[in-house]
Amino acid sequence: MEHGQPRIPIIGKPLIGLAPLIGCSLSLWGLFVLFGYHNTLPSVDFSVTFLQNINGLFQSALDFFREFASDWKFWLFLYLATGISASIAPSSVDIKNAIWGILFLIILGGLMIYYDVGKNTLNMLQNKYMGPVVSLGALMEMLALIATLPLYLVKKLMIR
């Protein structure tokens, strides 16, 4: 898909390139809210190790699956969420068009962290919003793994 030149290319191109990621993430969040599952989401704790977070998120995904698996609305939710998740990755063209802007934003963010510019705002964003968002993404990936792994294994066994 081709896009016109944005007015501010260094920021506009990353926003256009990452639109599927942002839009699909917001859609997933809306789906969680619509079905009432948003209160059951765990949150990533940025003060512990990566492995501790993965363990906690995996356990949360299993608990989530066990709690709601007998409800037909859960299966509708899972179907819709899987469809949205399948569209979340930016295309290679989107990434290519956005790479310099993404690097610029990473450097700008690094400088802001280094010079303590907006430290309170960054901490609030990290703790209040990024934890649940990262958890949502990880939870969706783990649910997809739990739901598709048996099908994948059966397919592999049948091919032999």
Q: Is the pTM of this model over 0.75?
A: no
- The pLDDT of residue 6 is 63
pLDDT of residue 150: 80
pLDDT band at 158 (very low <50, low <70, confident <90, very high): confident
Rounded to 10°, the helix 131-159/19-35 angle is 90
In sequence order, which residues have a C-beta less than 8 Å from that of residue 42 and are 6 or more positions away? 56, 57, 60, 135, 139
Distances (CA, A) of 18 to 62, 82, 95, 97, 106: 30, 19, 8, 10, 14
- Give residue limits of the domains in the chain: 9-159
Say whether pLDDT at 33 is over 60: yes
* Banded model confidence at residue 16, pLDDT cuts 50, 70, 90: confident
What is residue 72's predicted lDDT score, i.e. its pLDDT? Answer: 92
Cβ 38 vs Cβ 29: under 8 Å: yes
Which pLDDT score, from 0 to 100, does residue 76 have?
Answer: 92
pLDDT (tens digit per residue) in 48-89: 676 777 777 777 777 888 888 899 998 898 888 878 877 776
Distance CA 154, CA 93 (A): 35
Task: Kindly tell me the burial class for residue 78, based on how many C-beta atoms sit within 10 Å of its own C-beta (0-12, 13-18, 19 or more).
Answer: buried
pLDDT, tens digit, 9 for 90 and up, residues 108-136: 878 877 887 777 776 676 666 666 666 66
- Using DSSP, state whether 97 is helix, strand or coil: helix
**Mean pLDDT taken over the chain:** 75
